[in-house]
Amino acid sequence: MHHFVSITWGTFRFLYMEKKKLVFATNNSHKLEEAQAILGDTIEILPLTSIGCTEDIPETADTCEGNALIKARWVKEKYGYDCFADDTGLMVKALDGGPGVMTARYAGDHCSPDDNIRKMLAELEGATDRDAYFVTEVALSLDGKEYIFEGKVDGSIATERHGNGGFGYDPIFVPKETGICFAEMTADQKNAISHRGRAMRKLADFLTSL
């Protein structure tokens, strides 16, 4: 007796076609790990080093979307690879919406994440309104077209550090959904609700719909 298995075209593509390769315009190993965890079944992510890009890509825009587009276009124009890039901003109500586009360089051009956290805790000392939100903009340059995907998470800034996981501001950012800092979560828990996770899943959904 012969047995036949019926599969959809989408399943056939997933099982038998080579995954699409995209460059992720970042040198941040933590971001690469997060992106691969979210997009692993969709695409193969290539780091900048794999295409010989070792220069610092300028981020001169006054919005996160603008900076993400600059990075994606840089790789496409100078190296010829389809690419996606992200930029993230932390907007704190008590800091008049800052640091915003300067989130990664809040404590100076060559600051560390620890420097940024120390500065923020100092500037918010005594503040009663600690509401904040994170937004990530992901820009995709693919086959001559550009796309933007946004992820956002509301929360607040803790009065002290908590947890040992994550990176960046994770030890002091408390998402409303959980009541604990990102740094206190597992990677999967964080990716499920984080700003970057939400933007990357929109990217993944788009890529799988092609």
Show which residues are catalytic: 87
Please give the distance of CA 179 from its chain centroid, rounded to a whole number: 21
CA gap 1, 189 in Å, rounded: 47
| β partners of residue 139 | 85, 148
CB 101 within 8 A of CB 134: no
Q: 108-130 burial by CB neighbour count: b if 16+ within 10 A, else e? A: eeeeebeebbeebbebbeeeeeb
